[in-house]
Amino acid sequence: MDYDVIIIGAGPGGIFSAYELTKLRPDLKIAIFEAGNTLEKRKCPIDGEMITKCINCKTCSIMNGFGGAGAFSDGKYNITNEFGGTLHEFIGKDKAIDLMKYVDTINAAHGGAKTKLYSTASSGLKRQCLQNGLHLLDASVRHLGTDINYEVLTNLYNELKDKVEIFFLTPVREVKIIDGGYAVVTDKGEYTGVKCIVSVGRSGSKWMEKVCEDLNIKTLSNRVDIGVRVELPAEVFSHITDEVYESKIVYKTEKYQDLVRTFCMNPKGAVVNENTNGIVTVNGHSYEDPANQTENTNFALLVSKHFTEPFKDSNGYGESIAKLSNMLGGGVIVQRFGDLIRGQRSTDKRIAKAFITPTLKATPGDLSLVMPKRILDGIIEMIYALDKIAPGTANDDTLLYGVEVKFYNMEVAIDSNLETEHKGLFVIGDGSGVTHSLSHASASGVYVARYIAETKV
């Protein structure tokens, strides 16, 4: 065998598996195969001037490379079982929280200690939410910010690079079961390992499905979350974001009894494009350094869709809606809340008149031509509900960018060791469909590393 452990994917899941393995078992020979680039070479060509739209690079610098999808994220590590994945259902609630806390100490030790750990525990926001038909989920969150997150990743890379062989720009095409382990097929050749940890994230979702098909691993269809990114002046939410930073607030709509929730709140942040398998959707992030902050806060409002028989392709449903916005707007569409309510499209002129400057150059348009009525009705109801705890949310000039889609991978059949029915083949992080966040994905990496470290390799 070439290696004791092969890791596919250098996102948080892969990085934390490698980190923990090198710490506990320095005797092991480990390799990471990563489809994307090194951290410093990851550069999205969109500069807002020469290139304003996604040009579908061969490997997306936002999603692929060292640090994975999280590299240029807001670096919000939520310590909670309430959202971010269902890791606790596999390994137990206490264990999951312990591992997320452990991940936090590693991040802190690699440059994150100067950032703040926020908590909803002692905030008065919970009561205020309940009084207005809203429900605040409990969590602690370390906000690294895009800048410190980058620093932490750089430090982790420097620590790993001499202990682990890392193959960049080397997508694994196929995983094969061989005598005594696994072989990974790449354009540079075939490599073998006794154990294999697959951590390919959301960008590897289609590939993961194929691996499961090839190796006869069962999968379950997952949900898709569809919605918009809201952008408003930072002052509107500052009484909340200053205290808890990220608030996950859930609202049950009167009309359909659907749950709408806030997601990925970025105080003084920027709205950005996201490219998943060639489809452009919207996301957001923010910096810890005040010099890079904006005057706006953004967050997503999402509705989860689960489908029952005969329809199984929840991601396909989300993709179709995102494609519609790409077809009409050439990418992401932006609309003022007031225009949406009046039933008129936004135009460049109307956006220019607004008392807020958009942080993303998107095409002014009409989201009601893109979003299903049920989802849009829910989002509008929630904006009015949020207006009660953060007056100004339902202002005419509040910007809505669409569509934001959270694709979830098919849930891969794994056991309580996060191991497939093929012994020694583990599937972790967002690629498993079990986690959907930095902290859960990282924790799953540590968990599997500890399990492997204890077994004889």
Ligand X SMILES: Cc1cc2nc3c(=O)[nH]c(=O)nc-3n(C[C@H](O)[C@H](O)[C@H](O)COP(=O)(O)OP(=O)(O)OC[C@H]3O[C@@H](n4cnc5c(N)ncnc54)[C@H](O)[C@@H]3O)c2cc1C
- Give the interface with ligand X as residue ranges (CB under 6 A): 8-14, 33-36, 64-65, 68-70, 73-76, 78, 84, 171-172, 199-204, 207, 264, 274, 283, 285, 429-431, 436-439, 441
Nearer to ligand X, 34 or 381 (CB): 34
- Whether the upstream peptide bond of residue 370 has omega within 30° of 0, thus cis, is no
- Compute the distance between CA of residue 306 and CA of residue 317 in angstroms, rounded to an integer: 10
- Compute the distance between CA of residue 254 and CA of residue 295 in angstroms, rounded to an integer: 33
- Burial environment of residue 95 by CB neighbours within 10 A (0 to 12, 13 to 18, 19 or more): middle
Backbone φ and ψ of 26, nearest 5°: -65, -15
- Residue 334 CA neighbour count, 13 Å, CB half: 27
Q: How far is the CB of 394 from ligand X (least distance, A)?
A: 26
CB 359 within 8 A of CB 266: no
Nearer to ligand X, 78 or 346 (CB): 78
CB 48 within 8 A of CB 34: no
Nearer to ligand X, 18 or 383 (CB): 18
Q: How far is the CB of 333 from ligand X (least distance, A)?
A: 18
Planar angle of CA 124, 389, 265, nearest 5 degrees = 85
Nearer to ligand X, 340 or 418 (CB): 418
Q: How far is the CB of 421 from ligand X (least distance, A)?
A: 21
- Whether the upstream peptide bond of residue 175 has omega within 30° of 0, thus cis, is no
CB 12 within 8 A of CB 430: no
Nearer to ligand X, 337 or 408 (CB): 408
State the helix-helix crossing angle for 438-454 and 12-24, rounded to 10 degrees.
30
Nearer to ligand X, 393 or 435 (CB): 435
10 Å Cβ neighbour count for 151? Answer: 17
- CA nearest neighbour of 446 among 434, 429, 425: 429
Task: Provide the residue type at 256 as one letter.
Answer: Y
Q: Which residues pair with 250 in a beta bridge?
A: 135, 261
- Compute the distance between CA of residue 263 and CA of residue 301 in angstroms, rounded to an integer: 6
Nearer to ligand X, 225 or 397 (CB): 225
Q: How far is the CB of 388 from ligand X (least distance, A)?
A: 26
Q: How far is the CB of 157 from ligand X (least distance, A)?
A: 13
Classify the phi-psi angles of 331: left when phi > 0, otherwise alpha if psi is within -120 to 50, otherwise beta.
Answer: left
Report which secondary-structure segment, H or E, holds 76.
strand 76-79
Nearer to ligand X, 279 or 354 (CB): 279
Q: How far is the CB of 368 from ligand X (least distance, A)?
A: 26
Q: How far is the CB of 77 from ligand X (least distance, A)?
A: 6
Nearer to ligand X, 60 or 399 (CB): 60
Query: Which three-class secondary structure state does DSSP give residue 352?
Result: helix
10 Å Cβ neighbour count for 341? Answer: 14
- Compute the distance between CA of residue 191 and CA of residue 196 in angstroms, rounded to an integer: 11
- H helices of 5-123, where? 12-24, 87-91, 93-107
Nearer to ligand X, 236 or 438 (CB): 438
Q: Sign of dihedral through CA atoms 429, 204, 230, 42?
A: positive
Nearer to ligand X, 76 or 345 (CB): 76
Q: How far is the CB of 108 from ligand X (least distance, A)?
A: 16
